Structure 1
């Protein structure tokens, strides 16, 4: 049912399955990427396409990740908000000013110039939204999420996922995988494992990731899986980058080899 699919413990595995299947079909058709990256959950799809995670292993991790995040959101209630029209540095400074030992808010997603998502305790996030308006933000909008993802409030989820990551096999990647937490490429299994562990309570450095991929020679980006959010972010980061997307099997048939 559609209502069930909106719950994160079902949404995350569904997105992973669709993204990886589409990615595998693209590989079979000869579209070989030079490098891969994924935003938050998408990093698991990227690792799978790069050969570092078996499909079944990735799916089991994504299921555990979704359940752990849902549970952490109940244990440590929190929320997230998009801040539009402030620099990364100003958002970080604002969050540092508001955060305390009792209530925390952090910059969680650096998506593109002028767009940062904050995450943390409900009161702290609401205070930051008001402060952002005072500081000249064009918009501060709370997101419809079930927890404070990519913040210290996800520590219980990180511990559960880290324990699982320690037990599974991760292979050397066949192509560079750019990590959310570092915005840097790696093919090393131990680094990939560490990056996935640290992802849950650290910010997603997407803007920096795209810049670094561009510096490494990327001229075209292809978003694989449901939605077109990353295509929009890529255009805001650099209009010169060609940005495409594949959401369905039908779209694959119409794609020329890159």
Structure 2
């Protein structure tokens, strides 16, 4: 029998039209969208389905939009009696979907929390002061050394996302990003590309956002996860509900260790990954991490049907 992990995508997976097939075909999914509208006080459903892309890409909109779509899909998966994950995880924002799916908080609490998180992250660093870049074709160690070099010779640059072998995102001051793009060819880095994001996410520059978020987190009465949920910060499973607020605060301004999370889950017996939500970016990362495991994304009716066939095969 397959040992399955459900995983949820982060920011960047959004697109206009995401989740609409579930809204149109399942009462439970439609209910999630309606609950999101009510909790947020604006029509997140219309933004998910119609955009425009510029609005949907605003961090404070992107985060509740993706969470809503993930949970609208997961509600249908939850109905499937063959669903029995041994662990859940998510990349950055996706960790909130994992924790919600594992019943640590109700959906309304989660969607309001990530709206605030997006707002804090969007405003923590003034526009034009910070950014991010992707380093391609280098090791984690090379990326860490390169960040130290740039920081010592120009300005702050830090690792932000360890996504998969040879793909590491870094973030920091704008001057450091520009310096890194010029200097990368002198190091063991095949290519460096500037990312179109509004802030240096998951770096120490986002600490003010983490502090604000902690105030919100401390007001929530979390419950123990109903299955294992892995943390991006330390690649360990949440032991109890008392760890949730602390780890989610730290996640805002510490690197996302996604590759290590996946390797930990595989080492603990996971042989099948189901990506729940828009896009299939996590499947792409998992394929590069370990080609020996199965993976499947669920973002529309046809991919849901493929999953149901897998569940009962």
TM-score (norm 2): 0.79
1:125 and 2:177 correspond: yes
Change (3 A) 1:189 1:102: farther
Instruction: Report Cα offsets for 1:113-155 as digits up to 9, x if no partner.
Output: 1111001111112212222221132210011000000001101
Give the gaps of 5 or more residues in structure 1: none
Deviation at 1:79, TM superposition (A): 0.5
Deviation at 1:100, TM superposition (A): 4.9
Deviation at 1:76, TM superposition (A): 7.9
Q: For the residues of structure 2 that align with 1:76 and 1:186, how far apart are their CA atoms?
A: 36
Aligned to 1:15: 66
Deviation at 1:73, TM superposition (A): 3.0
SS at match of 1:110: strand
Q: 1:87 aligns with which of 102, 115, 139?
A: 139
Deviation at 1:254, TM superposition (A): 3.5
Q: 1:78 aligns with which of 110, 117, 130?
A: 130
TM-score (norm 1): 0.95
Q: For the residues of structure 1 that align with 2:162 and 2:180, how far apart are their CA atoms?
A: 16
Q: For the residues of structure 1 that align with 2:151 and 2:101, how far apart are their CA atoms?
A: 38
Aligned to 2:201: 149
Change (3 A) 1:7 1:92: same
Aligned to 2:11: none
1:105 and 2:153 correspond: no
SS at match of 1:245: strand
Aligned to 2:261: 209
Aligned to 2:47: none
The answer to which of 52-61 and 68-77 deviates more is: 68-77
Q: For the residues of structure 1 that align with 2:106 and 2:302, how far apart are their CA atoms?
A: 26
Q: For the residues of structure 2 that align with 1:155 and 1:77, how far apart are their CA atoms?
A: 15
Aligned to 2:23: none
| Structure exhibiting the larger radius of gyration computed from Cα positions | 2
Q: For the residues of structure 2 that align with 1:126 and 1:199, how far apart are their CA atoms?
A: 25
Contact 2:159 2:170 in 1 (8 A): yes
Deviation at 1:187, TM superposition (A): 3.9
Aligned residues: 258
1:196 and 2:248 correspond: yes
The answer to which of 65-74 and 201-210 deviates more is: 65-74
Q: For the residues of structure 1 that align with 2:154 and 2:217, how far apart are their CA atoms?
A: 30
Q: For the residues of structure 2 that align with 1:98 and 1:44, how far apart are their CA atoms?
A: 32
Contact 1:76 1:153 in 2 (8 A): no
RMSD value, Cα: 1.7
Q: For the residues of structure 1 that align with 2:283 and 2:229, how far apart are their CA atoms?
A: 18
Give the gaps of 5 or more residues in structure 2: 1-50
Q: How does 1:1-258 map to 2 (within 5 A)?
A: 1-2=51-52, 3-30=54-81, 31-74=83-126, 77-100=129-152, 103-255=155-307, 256=309, 257=311
The answer to which of 145-154 and 242-251 deviates more is: 242-251
